[in-house]
Structure 1
Amino acid sequence: MTTTQGSGAASAQLERVRALCLALPRATERPSHGGPAFFADPRCFVMFLDDHHGDGRLALWCAAPEGVQAEQVALEPDRFFRPPYVGHRGWLGVLPATLDDDELAAVVLDAYRCTASARARRELDARPG
Protein backbone atom coordinates (compact mmCIF):
# COMPACT_ATOMS: atom_id res chain seq x y z
CA MET A 1 0.00 0.00 0.00
CA THR A 2 1.22 3.46 -0.84
CA THR A 3 1.40 5.81 2.09
CA THR A 4 0.07 9.33 2.20
CA GLN A 5 2.62 11.69 0.68
CA GLY A 6 2.30 14.72 2.95
CA SER A 7 0.53 17.99 2.38
CA GLY A 8 3.01 19.43 -0.16
CA ALA A 9 2.90 16.38 -2.38
CA ALA A 10 -0.86 16.10 -1.96
CA SER A 11 -1.29 19.74 -2.99
CA ALA A 12 0.87 19.22 -6.07
CA GLN A 13 -1.10 16.14 -7.11
CA LEU A 14 -4.39 17.91 -6.51
CA GLU A 15 -3.29 20.79 -8.72
CA ARG A 16 -2.37 18.32 -11.50
CA VAL A 17 -5.78 16.68 -11.26
CA ARG A 18 -7.69 19.94 -10.87
CA ALA A 19 -6.10 21.43 -14.00
CA LEU A 20 -7.05 18.39 -16.08
CA CYS A 21 -10.58 18.09 -14.74
CA LEU A 22 -11.55 21.75 -14.88
CA ALA A 23 -10.28 22.08 -18.45
CA LEU A 24 -13.17 19.86 -19.55
CA PRO A 25 -16.50 21.35 -20.68
CA ARG A 26 -19.05 21.94 -17.92
CA ALA A 27 -16.73 20.45 -15.27
CA THR A 28 -17.02 21.79 -11.74
CA GLU A 29 -15.38 21.06 -8.40
CA ARG A 30 -17.00 20.64 -5.01
CA PRO A 31 -16.31 18.64 -1.84
CA SER A 32 -17.61 15.08 -1.64
CA HIS A 33 -16.76 12.18 0.66
CA GLY A 34 -14.08 14.14 2.48
CA GLY A 35 -12.16 15.50 -0.48
CA PRO A 36 -12.35 17.51 -3.67
CA ALA A 37 -14.49 15.93 -6.36
CA PHE A 38 -15.07 16.84 -9.98
CA PHE A 39 -18.45 16.76 -11.65
CA ALA A 40 -19.76 16.95 -15.20
CA ASP A 41 -23.41 17.90 -15.63
CA PRO A 42 -24.01 16.99 -12.47
CA ARG A 43 -22.44 13.53 -12.13
CA CYS A 44 -19.13 12.92 -10.39
CA PHE A 45 -16.32 11.61 -12.58
CA VAL A 46 -13.21 11.94 -10.33
CA MET A 47 -12.77 12.04 -6.56
CA PHE A 48 -9.47 13.08 -4.93
CA LEU A 49 -8.86 11.38 -1.59
CA ASP A 50 -5.93 11.75 0.79
CA ASP A 51 -5.76 9.02 3.44
CA HIS A 52 -9.48 8.27 3.13
CA HIS A 53 -10.56 6.60 6.40
CA GLY A 54 -6.89 5.99 7.23
CA ASP A 55 -6.13 3.90 4.14
CA GLY A 56 -2.72 5.57 3.73
CA ARG A 57 -3.30 6.39 0.07
CA LEU A 58 -3.23 9.59 -1.92
CA ALA A 59 -5.61 8.42 -4.60
CA LEU A 60 -8.21 9.16 -7.20
CA TRP A 61 -11.42 7.27 -7.60
CA CYS A 62 -12.47 7.56 -11.23
CA ALA A 63 -15.40 6.44 -13.32
CA ALA A 64 -14.06 3.94 -15.87
CA PRO A 65 -15.28 2.22 -19.00
CA GLU A 66 -16.62 -1.30 -18.52
CA GLY A 67 -13.86 -3.84 -17.91
CA VAL A 68 -11.08 -1.30 -17.38
CA GLN A 69 -11.00 -1.66 -13.60
CA ALA A 70 -10.49 -5.42 -13.67
CA GLU A 71 -7.87 -5.20 -16.41
CA GLN A 72 -5.82 -2.40 -14.84
CA VAL A 73 -5.92 -3.87 -11.32
CA ALA A 74 -4.81 -7.26 -12.65
CA LEU A 75 -2.02 -5.81 -14.81
CA GLU A 76 -0.70 -3.05 -12.53
CA PRO A 77 -1.81 -3.47 -8.90
CA ASP A 78 0.95 -1.10 -7.77
CA ARG A 79 -0.77 1.76 -9.65
CA PHE A 80 -4.46 0.83 -9.72
CA PHE A 81 -6.94 -0.66 -7.24
CA ARG A 82 -10.62 -1.36 -6.70
CA PRO A 83 -11.87 1.52 -4.55
CA PRO A 84 -14.35 1.01 -1.73
CA TYR A 85 -17.96 2.18 -2.14
CA VAL A 86 -17.77 2.68 -5.91
CA GLY A 87 -15.57 -0.23 -6.98
CA HIS A 88 -18.57 -2.51 -7.42
CA ARG A 89 -19.78 -0.08 -10.11
CA GLY A 90 -16.53 -0.44 -12.05
CA TRP A 91 -14.80 2.70 -10.80
CA LEU A 92 -11.02 2.62 -10.86
CA GLY A 93 -8.73 3.56 -7.98
CA VAL A 94 -5.61 5.36 -9.19
CA LEU A 95 -2.41 6.35 -7.41
CA PRO A 96 -1.75 9.58 -9.32
CA ALA A 97 1.91 9.89 -8.30
CA THR A 98 2.59 6.68 -10.27
CA LEU A 99 1.22 8.10 -13.54
CA ASP A 100 2.93 10.50 -15.89
CA ASP A 101 0.98 13.51 -17.18
CA ASP A 102 -0.25 11.79 -20.36
CA GLU A 103 -1.45 8.70 -18.45
CA LEU A 104 -3.23 10.84 -15.87
CA ALA A 105 -4.88 12.92 -18.61
CA ALA A 106 -6.12 9.72 -20.30
CA VAL A 107 -7.62 8.39 -17.04
CA VAL A 108 -9.37 11.71 -16.37
CA LEU A 109 -10.71 11.92 -19.92
CA ASP A 110 -12.04 8.34 -19.79
CA ALA A 111 -13.75 9.12 -16.48
CA TYR A 112 -15.29 12.27 -17.91
CA ARG A 113 -16.58 10.49 -21.02
CA CYS A 114 -18.21 7.84 -18.79
CA THR A 115 -20.30 10.36 -16.88
CA ALA A 116 -20.66 13.60 -18.86
CA SER A 117 -23.88 14.40 -20.65
CA ALA A 118 -24.11 13.97 -24.39
CA ARG A 119 -24.09 17.75 -24.72
CA ALA A 120 -20.84 18.06 -22.74
CA ARG A 121 -19.22 15.27 -24.77
CA ARG A 122 -20.23 17.04 -27.99
CA GLU A 123 -18.63 20.25 -26.69
CA LEU A 124 -15.46 18.32 -25.94
CA ASP A 125 -15.42 16.68 -29.38
CA ALA A 126 -15.96 20.06 -31.07
CA ARG A 127 -12.79 21.53 -29.54
CA PRO A 128 -9.88 22.02 -31.93
CA GLY A 129 -6.88 19.75 -31.63
Structure 2
Amino acid sequence: MDTRISKFIANNKLLTLSVIDDTYDDICVYTASCYYVFCVETLKLIFKSSVDSKHIKLAKKFPKCGVNIAKDGALKTLQGVQIKAHFKHATTEQKALYYKTFPYAKLGEGEVFSLEILWAKYTDNSLFLGKKLEYTKE
Protein backbone atom coordinates (compact mmCIF):
# COMPACT_ATOMS: atom_id res chain seq x y z
CA MET A 1 0.00 0.00 0.00
CA ASP A 2 1.28 3.45 -0.91
CA THR A 3 2.52 5.22 2.24
CA ARG A 4 0.30 8.24 1.48
CA ILE A 5 -2.78 6.01 1.76
CA SER A 6 -1.65 4.27 4.95
CA LYS A 7 -0.59 7.58 6.54
CA PHE A 8 -4.03 9.08 5.83
CA ILE A 9 -5.81 6.06 7.32
CA ALA A 10 -3.52 6.03 10.38
CA ASN A 11 -4.06 9.75 11.03
CA ASN A 12 -7.84 9.44 11.26
CA LYS A 13 -10.02 7.61 13.76
CA LEU A 14 -13.62 7.55 12.46
CA LEU A 15 -14.88 5.36 9.64
CA THR A 16 -18.26 4.82 8.03
CA LEU A 17 -19.02 1.13 7.62
CA SER A 18 -21.46 0.07 4.90
CA VAL A 19 -23.01 -3.38 4.94
CA ILE A 20 -25.65 -5.14 2.85
CA ASP A 21 -29.10 -4.97 4.42
CA ASP A 22 -31.56 -7.57 3.15
CA THR A 23 -34.27 -6.97 5.74
CA TYR A 24 -36.52 -5.22 3.24
CA ASP A 25 -38.05 -6.35 -0.03
CA ASP A 26 -35.19 -4.74 -1.90
CA ILE A 27 -31.57 -5.14 -0.90
CA CYS A 28 -30.14 -1.88 0.33
CA VAL A 29 -27.17 -0.63 2.32
CA TYR A 30 -26.97 0.10 6.04
CA THR A 31 -24.25 2.37 7.43
CA ALA A 32 -22.73 3.00 10.83
CA SER A 33 -19.90 5.16 12.14
CA CYS A 34 -17.19 3.50 14.24
CA TYR A 35 -13.96 4.62 15.89
CA TYR A 36 -11.04 2.55 14.67
CA VAL A 37 -7.35 1.86 14.98
CA PHE A 38 -5.30 1.06 11.89
CA CYS A 39 -2.75 -1.75 12.04
CA VAL A 40 -0.28 -0.68 9.35
CA GLU A 41 1.60 -4.00 9.36
CA THR A 42 -1.48 -6.13 8.57
CA LEU A 43 -3.58 -3.46 6.80
CA LYS A 44 -6.52 -4.03 9.10
CA LEU A 45 -8.99 -1.56 10.59
CA ILE A 46 -9.89 -2.54 14.15
CA PHE A 47 -13.06 -1.31 15.85
CA LYS A 48 -15.42 -2.15 18.69
CA SER A 49 -19.17 -2.43 18.56
CA SER A 50 -22.10 -4.17 20.20
CA VAL A 51 -22.73 -7.70 18.94
CA ASP A 52 -26.45 -6.87 18.97
CA SER A 53 -26.09 -3.82 16.72
CA LYS A 54 -27.66 -4.02 13.29
CA HIS A 55 -24.40 -3.35 11.43
CA ILE A 56 -22.58 -6.19 13.23
CA LYS A 57 -25.41 -8.65 12.66
CA LEU A 58 -25.45 -7.74 8.97
CA ALA A 59 -21.64 -7.83 8.67
CA LYS A 60 -21.62 -11.35 10.10
CA LYS A 61 -24.18 -12.35 7.49
CA PHE A 62 -22.50 -10.47 4.61
CA PRO A 63 -18.80 -10.07 5.56
CA LYS A 64 -17.75 -8.11 2.48
CA CYS A 65 -18.14 -4.48 3.51
CA GLY A 66 -17.54 -0.99 2.25
CA VAL A 67 -15.72 1.65 4.28
CA ASN A 68 -15.33 5.39 3.85
CA ILE A 69 -12.89 7.60 5.74
CA ALA A 70 -13.01 11.27 4.83
CA LYS A 71 -11.58 14.56 5.96
CA ASP A 72 -13.96 17.46 5.51
CA GLY A 73 -12.66 20.61 3.90
CA ALA A 74 -12.60 22.76 0.83
CA LEU A 75 -12.59 21.03 -2.57
CA LYS A 76 -8.90 21.79 -3.11
CA THR A 77 -7.95 20.11 0.20
CA LEU A 78 -10.44 17.22 0.12
CA GLN A 79 -8.99 13.90 1.27
CA GLY A 80 -10.64 10.53 1.63
CA VAL A 81 -10.39 6.83 1.07
CA GLN A 82 -12.95 4.33 -0.17
CA ILE A 83 -12.28 0.75 0.93
CA LYS A 84 -13.55 -2.74 0.17
CA ALA A 85 -12.94 -4.94 3.20
CA HIS A 86 -13.62 -8.32 4.74
CA PHE A 87 -15.22 -8.35 8.21
CA LYS A 88 -13.80 -10.70 10.88
CA HIS A 89 -13.54 -11.10 14.64
CA ALA A 90 -10.38 -9.46 15.98
CA THR A 91 -7.39 -11.47 17.14
CA THR A 92 -5.96 -11.11 20.64
CA GLU A 93 -3.20 -8.89 19.26
CA GLN A 94 -5.69 -6.66 17.45
CA LYS A 95 -7.78 -6.30 20.61
CA ALA A 96 -4.66 -5.25 22.54
CA LEU A 97 -3.86 -2.62 19.90
CA TYR A 98 -7.42 -1.26 20.02
CA TYR A 99 -7.45 -1.01 23.83
CA LYS A 100 -4.00 0.58 23.84
CA THR A 101 -5.42 3.41 21.72
CA PHE A 102 -8.86 3.54 23.36
CA PRO A 103 -8.32 2.26 26.95
CA TYR A 104 -11.65 3.66 28.14
CA ALA A 105 -13.41 1.34 25.65
CA LYS A 106 -12.73 -1.55 28.06
CA LEU A 107 -15.46 -0.11 30.26
CA GLY A 108 -18.17 -0.53 27.67
CA GLU A 109 -19.83 -3.65 26.36
CA GLY A 110 -19.20 -5.01 22.90
CA GLU A 111 -16.61 -6.92 20.98
CA VAL A 112 -13.63 -5.94 18.88
CA PHE A 113 -13.72 -6.71 15.16
CA SER A 114 -11.40 -6.20 12.22
CA LEU A 115 -11.77 -5.20 8.61
CA GLU A 116 -9.13 -6.60 6.26
CA ILE A 117 -8.49 -4.09 3.49
CA LEU A 118 -8.86 -5.79 0.10
CA TRP A 119 -8.93 -2.66 -2.07
CA ALA A 120 -8.62 1.06 -1.46
CA LYS A 121 -8.92 4.21 -3.56
CA TYR A 122 -7.45 7.35 -2.04
CA THR A 123 -8.32 10.85 -3.19
CA ASP A 124 -6.10 13.73 -2.15
CA ASN A 125 -6.95 16.94 -3.98
CA SER A 126 -3.88 18.63 -2.50
CA LEU A 127 -1.77 16.34 -4.73
CA PHE A 128 -3.63 17.38 -7.87
CA LEU A 129 -7.33 17.91 -8.37
CA GLY A 130 -8.84 14.51 -9.07
CA LYS A 131 -5.63 12.51 -8.43
CA LYS A 132 -6.41 8.99 -7.17
CA LEU A 133 -4.11 6.35 -5.69
CA GLU A 134 -5.26 2.73 -5.61
CA TYR A 135 -4.28 -0.35 -3.62
CA THR A 136 -5.34 -3.93 -4.32
CA LYS A 137 -4.42 -6.82 -2.04
CA GLU A 138 -2.34 -9.32 -3.96
Same fold (TM over 0.5): no
The structure with more radius of gyration: 2
Higher helix share: 1
Short-chain TM bin: 0.3 to 0.5
TM-score by length of 1: 0.35
Higher strand share: 2
